[in-house]
Amino acid sequence: MAATVPPRPDTGTEATPSSARGGVSPCLQQEEPPEAAGSCWRDGTTTEASTPAPPLEPPAPPLGLRQGRLRRLVRAARRDSLRSMLAAASGLALAASFPPYDLWPLSLAAVAVLALLTWHRTVRQAAWTGFAFAFPFFVWLLQWLHVVGWDAVVGLSVIEAVFFVPLGAGLAVTSRLPGRPLWGACLWVAEELIRDRVPFGGFPWGRLAFANTGSPFTALAALGGAPLVTFALALTAGLLATAALCAVRLRGAVRARDAVGTAVSLVLAAAVVAVGSAVPTATKADGSVQVAIVQGNVDRPGMHFLGRPMEILGNHVQATVQLAREVKSGRVPRPDVVIWPENSSDLDPFSYPQAYTAISQAVQAIGVPVLIGALVDGPDADHVQNEGIVWSPTAGPGAEYTKQHPVPFGEYVPFRKELTKVISRLNEIPLDFYPGKHNGVLQLGPARIGDVICFEVAYDQIVRDTVNAGARAIVVQTNNATYGRTGQPEQQLAMYRLRAVEHGRAVVSAATSGISAVVAPDGTVKQQSEEFTREVLSARIPLRDSTTVADRLGALPEWTLAMVGVLSCAAAIGLGPRRRTEDKG
């Protein structure tokens, strides 16, 4: 049995809490009773081994000692509360770095503060800090979901914040290793890799790269996609955090090690920024095409934007017919192709003859192929399909693309039978969207385009597959009427900008109610519409055949960086016992 630890005497001065050193205070260790066999009593007699000694009540700690413990607990609680508040404030700052605010330098500051708050913390403290950082971040970032219900905002924010629990813990564990900014940046990539894929196919909103579509890091997307942008930003933030730590230690006395650490960290951070700024963007065109983007508008925003049957379709038909008149009068250049948004036909044209006829009349009026958006019947009575359909003025409907990644709880209900019993609101989604099985490469008149529908633009592989399959430009058909004037359309526009740079392609977006846009291959927004207006954008966009390094490498940089992050955690955990053994020796 271990020796009894006697209580510390009350010296009248406070000892430094050992929790600050990562250990357990001896004051909190429970005293063990003396051995029953052969133990000495205060009167000098000795008990026999066969006679059990009566249990001894541990003496009550002195009053001063109890007050000291209480003060230490209060200080620890205050420190944890302060850390949580700083983490929450940093999470809100990160949200402000995203559209519609676009204060991208705040993403650097927020990630750096999280690195400082988790530095040399315990795993439990850092895990909670990660959650305290992420939850307010997602609540603010996803506040546009309040049109569905604030319970949806809170619920999704909790789910997304859970992924930051292992991130925070990993940052703390690897903060004990040399080169911690590198390992921390890799852990950010690992967190996004997992969150982008699970559950139900993942939810990539809130990736650091999407806050940096106009920053010095943006061009790195052409080399390694969104993951490399995230890595570069997190690495720079980690280096700035390290410089801050070294600078704080310099306040007392100048030490060569801390002075060098500050200087080296700042130089390396500047080098990462310089490298990002120096990466060239692909802009040389191999051809061009004149496009017209029709934004027909909806009559009401929110959940019930569809209104009366044929209402949205009628808006787009009228806008297209008006475009044909302006082309005929010479006020607008004749387009080679026309793009309609997602759900621009609110009735299945193959089931409703009046919808088929209206579309055909509009396409024949403009006289060029039109890419329309429609919900059509699925393979069975329980499903529909969200499609982009090429409609020819002579041959009618032709090639089509079916959305591959329906939105869970928006376009289909997982575990429908069970969940609709407890969440009646889910019954407002009467049919599940059936996922498509092939990429969105379509021949639209003279242009071979890659069609992506709505939220699919957030998923790396879906967009990359269209480019690698031969798309010379990217088209995003979207319907953001539900989330109009909430900041969500601006967040999606930022994704278009990143994809343009990543793949060296022009991106054309057609939205029912806005924001429709034309984005150049360098990420510059050439044109964009206002929300909830009827507009037609006309532009000549470049067509490109060559691919970027990011296209050719695919997901390799992402998986490599993520694995480095995981292995760094394993190395730090493995070195822990060895260091403790060396300390004891």
Q: Which of 481, 464, 492, 474 is nearest to 550 (CA)?
A: 464
Distance CA 426, CA 353 (A): 30
Cβ-proximal residues to 219 (8 Å cutoff; 6+ apart), any chain: 276, 277, 278, 279, 280, 281, 501
User: What is the DSSP secondary-structure string of 214-238?
Assistant: SSTTGGGHHHHHHHHHHHHHHHHHH
Q: Give Rg (Cα) of the chain.
A: 31
Residue closest to 546 by CA, chosen among 579, 521, 527, 571: 521
- Rounded to whole angstroms, the Cα distance separating 521 from 285 reads 9
> Is 342 one of the annotated active-site residues of the chain?
yes
Name the catalytic one among 342, 387, 400, 531: 342
Cα–Cα distance for residue pair 76/477, rounded to 1 Å: 53
368-404 burial by CB neighbour count: b if 16+ within 10 A, else e?
Answer: bbbbbbbbbebeeeeebbbbbbbbbeeeebebbbbbb
How many Å apart are CA 324 and CA 338, to the nearest integer? 11
217, 269 Cβ separation under 8 angstroms? no
Distance CA 182, CA 231 (A): 9
Q: How many residues can be counted in the chain? A: 585
C-beta separation of 189 from 230 below 8 A: yes
Catalytic site residue from 186, 387, 403, 558: 403
Residue at 525: amino acid letter: V
Q: Which two tokens stand for residue 444?
A: 């639209």
Q: Which of the residues 186, 246, 411, 454 is marked catalytic?
A: 454
Query: Please, is 45 exposed, middle or buried when counting C-beta atoms within 10 Å of its C-beta (0-12, 13-18, 19+)?
Result: exposed
Distance, in Å, from the CA atom of 169 to the CA atom of 156, rounded to the nearest integer, reads 21
Q: Which residues contact 288 (CB under 8 A, 6 or more apart)?
A: 540, 541, 542, 543
Q: Is 297 left (phi over 0), alpha (psi -120 to 50) or beta?
A: left
Residue in 257, 454, 449 with CA at minimum distance from that of residue 369: 449
Catalytic residues: 342, 403, 454
